[in-house]
Amino acid sequence: MIERFFSLQTKRVVPENLLDEVLSMSGRTVPRPEAIEKLKTHSALGEIIAAGMTAMQLNPLCAEEEFSAQVQAAGRRVAAKLERNLSALGSIASIAPLLGLFGTVVGMIEIFGAQIPGAGNPAELAHGISVALYNTAFGLVIAIPSLVVWRHLRAKVDNHVVELEIDGERLVRHFFPKSAGQ
């Protein structure tokens, strides 16, 4: 959870004004390779911008489709990085209450299996039931925060991916503006 909260900070994924700054500095030209390499390590958006700039650098006459394909491929790679570890967190949230319930059921079976008809001690039975219910509580203590955090991070990733798609499209339109007649 901590790693994902850190990695999914907006400044690490879609820094404010990064695309605007890059587009205003570059105009219709491609920055130098050192600038592109620095941009690639800056943020997730920087990685996408760098992919487009690299395509232009390698082939200054590349077609819009080729440029757009490079930007989209970089976007898919970045989206996969953003989603890293989220499925594990979702699995923990799903499995924890089941493990707690399993512990409860096993504990109850053990308690009732150890009771001899007519000779059972009510205090031992109550204690055993209490311990079995702690298993359920422990599962819920893990599951509830995990589910809340998973849903929050999932929504955050989805929002970042939408922002990255919009910025990727802006990048393509910057280098390949549509003519007024189309």
Same domain membership, residue 92 and residue 47 = no
CB 45 within 8 A of CB 18: yes
Q: List, for residues 131-180, the tens digit of each pLDDT value.
A: 888 888 998 999 999 999 999 999 999 999 999 999 999 999 988 887 43
Could you give the number of structural domains in the chain?
2
Same domain membership, residue 80 and residue 160 = yes
- Residue 25 pLDDT: 79
Calpha distance 60→86 (Å, rounded): 39
Range of 105's domain? 86-154
Residues of the chain scoring pLDDT < 70: 28, 114-120, 179-182
Tell which residue, 137, 162, 156, has the closest CA to residue 89: 156
Report field, pTM of the whole predicted structure over 0.85: no
27 within some domain: yes
- Residue 141 pLDDT: 93
